Amino acid sequence: MSETIRKLSVVDSAFLFAETAECPMHVGSLTIVKLPDGYDGDFYEDFKARIASRLDLAKSLRSKLASTPFDIDRPSWVEDEQFDLARHVLRGALPEPHDRVVAERIAGWLHAKTLNRARPLWELYVFDGMPDNEAAIYSKMHHALIDGGAGAALTEILYETSATPAPNTAAAAPARASGTSKKQDVRDVASSMFAAYAELWRAPFQSSQLGNLELPRSGGSDLASVLLDAAIHSVEWPLRIAANYGEIATAYQAAITNAFKPESVKALDLLSAPSTPLNVAISSERSFAGVTVSMARVKAIAAKAGGKVNDVVLELASGLLRRYLVEEDALPKKSLTAFVPISAREKGDAELKNQVFGMVVPLATDLDDPKKRLETIVAGAATAKELANPFRSLMPHFADIPTFGSPMLLQLLAVFYGRSQLANSIPPPMNVVVSNVFFSRTPIYIAGAQILHVYPMSIPVHGQALNITVHGYVDGLDFGLMAAANVVPDVQRLTRLLTAELDELERAYGTAA
């Protein structure tokens, strides 16, 4: 039997069990690369060989799910003893005219398909033979395995800063997370557990001991092992929380203090977003388009507005949505809101798991003047971030909360919500997800080919049919617009609206070249 690598966190498993046929929970990208001048090799084979040479540095890519009986608790990652790279790195073919628009359409179609849970939850597709000596790489990886920060860390492992790959000797494989265990006999674990309890009671409530408390686990996936491990965890977790009570109480006190500030009280209105044609139940079909805007243009606007690049990204999303809804004669009087993910990942942490929370920001779509929209977004984002910041330190403490029995319930609720079409009837909690992840300041390469663009592809869900994700790469911002095709069949239209909004914003601030 495969050895248990680690149990999924609460956030990781939530992405897994919230998945339905209409809402696949994987993220990905469409990467455009430039092959070297005079290249006459087989880029697919070269690419696959490059991935094979680096797999030992990202061992999570060999991990598959080990579910519990009846999905009664969170599953674990175990090593796939039958791992076959050929099942994960695949060759694709583009129909005429073999260009980027066709690649975007095919990638959108592939993004609608769920991953096979019997194997590691990722796939890569290589499309070569494009004009101008280009090729495209479509990747998808289940969100239970990766978030934006982990994706950037994975990129550093798999890609190169030079067209000539360095020898595969420098990096070391990431250490396994705590909780790694080989399967043990349940009776032996029970005996060890009682011994650990006895030791605990000999020195009760010593915070230094409780904070690092790790009771024995069976590591098995049979029903008896799962029940025993869940019982152990239900005792262990509260003791760890008690040991960190001071830090948790300080964070909650800061959150409450922030919540009662006048600007925060005004922000309570964000808890209810207006309904739009984008906030409905979705089908499993996907439409996708990417567009790149100049980083220099965005930074010039941000400097004039006294904001940051992310504030301008939010304004571009706001202007895009306003233009689209005006054309559809469906712009609500109340401002739309965006959910903006925030990474809780410490610098240098490359572990492939989700460490993220978020904030809700007003998009000021009720304002016609782009300058006023951006100014409102700058102020609203600052308030939202201040409200969210105290919760950053809480994330590690609650990432492993006992969830026995909840995976079954979450799956039932996800299916019920989709089949009931409730998203067509109830107000959305927010209108759109807008995420901005910095990718690389310097050009990067794979198998000797230079990466030109990395267009991110994320997750539409019932009630939010459009997802806007951005990668900052070298001197550009690569926008990935992913939509449910039954709601927004022509996403290329949105890319034109976005570039038009950037032009208008430049005119408003006088930054146009």
What is the CATH class of 4-158?
alpha beta
Strand order in the sheet with 4-7: 4-7, 76-79, 63-66
Radius of gyration over every alpha carbon of the chain, rounded to an integer in angstroms: 24
- Residues 123, 435, 478, 491: is their CA dihedral positive or negative? positive
Instruction: Indicate the domain borders of the chain.
Output: 4-158, 273-393+422-509
pLDDT tens, position by position, 172-219? 444 444 444 455 554 554 444 444 444 444 444 444 455 555 666 666
* Predicted local confidence at residue 189, as pLDDT: 45
Going by C-alpha positions, the residue among 145, 152, 153, 150 that lies closest to residue 171 is: 153
Cα 234 from Cα 258, distance rounded (Å): 32
Partnered with residue 388 across adjacent β-strands are none
* Predicted local confidence at residue 171, as pLDDT: 43
Task: Give the residue, 437 or 316, on which the prediction is more confident.
Answer: 316
Task: Give the residue, 392 or 487, on which the prediction is more confident.
Answer: 487
In whole angstroms, how far apart are CA 376 and each of 97, 272, 334, 354, 388?
Answer: 43, 18, 14, 30, 18
Q: Which residues contact 333 (CB under 8 A, 6 or more apart)?
A: 274, 366
Backbone angles phi, psi at 10, to 5 degrees: -60, -45
* Greatest distance between any 2 Cα atoms in the chain: 74
The per-residue b/e assignment along 389-414, b for 16 or more CB within 10 angstroms, e otherwise, is bbbeebbebeebebbbebbeebbeeb
In whole angstroms, how far apart are CA 189 and each of 73, 90, 180, 186, 509?
Answer: 19, 43, 15, 5, 67
* Predicted local confidence at residue 237, as pLDDT: 72
For the chain, what is the mean pLDDT? 82
Going by C-alpha positions, the residue among 410, 335, 409, 401 that lies closest to residue 373 is: 335
Cα 396 from Cα 78, distance rounded (Å): 22
Q: Which residues are catalytic?
A: 143
Identical fold for domains 4-158 and 273-393+422-509, yes or no, is: yes
Characterize the bridge pairing of strands 122-130 and 286-294.
Answer: unpaired
Cα 236 from Cα 248, distance rounded (Å): 17
In whole angstroms, how far apart are CA 332 and each of 94, 271, 276, 277?
Answer: 40, 16, 7, 10
Cβ atoms of 273 and 279 within 8 Å: the answer is yes
Average pLDDT over residues 142-149: 72
Q: Which residues contact 444 (CB under 8 A, 6 or more apart)?
A: 155, 159, 160, 161, 450, 451
Tell me which CATH homologous superfamily contains domain 273-393+422-509.
Nonribosomal peptide synthetase, condensation domain (3.30.559.30)
Average pLDDT over residues 117-144: 93
Residue 261: pLDDT over 90: no
Going by C-alpha positions, the residue among 502, 477, 482 that lies closest to residue 492 is: 482
pLDDT tens, position by position, 356-377? 567 889 999 999 999 999 999 9
Going by C-alpha positions, the residue among 310, 303, 324 that lies closest to residue 361 is: 310
Strands (E) in 116-246, as ranges, are: 122-130, 134-142
Mutual angle of helices 223-243 and 186-202, in 10-degree steps: 20
Angle (nearest 5°) at CA 386 between 380 and 389:
135
Strand order in the sheet with 286-294: 286-294, 476-484, 466-473, 432-440, 337-343, 356-362
pLDDT tens, position by position, 293-319? 999 999 999 999 999 999 999 999 999
pLDDT tens, position by position, 331-344? 999 999 999 987 65
Average pLDDT over residues 3-25: 85
Count other Cβ atoms within 10 Å, centred on residue 510: 9
The answer, as to whether pTM is greater than 0.75, is yes
Q: Residue for token digits 């001197």?
A: 475
Characterize the bridge pairing of strands 26-34 and 449-457.
Answer: antiparallel
Please tell me which of 13-27, 152-166, 237-251 the model is most confident about, judged by mean pLDDT: 13-27
* Predicted local confidence at residue 238, as pLDDT: 75
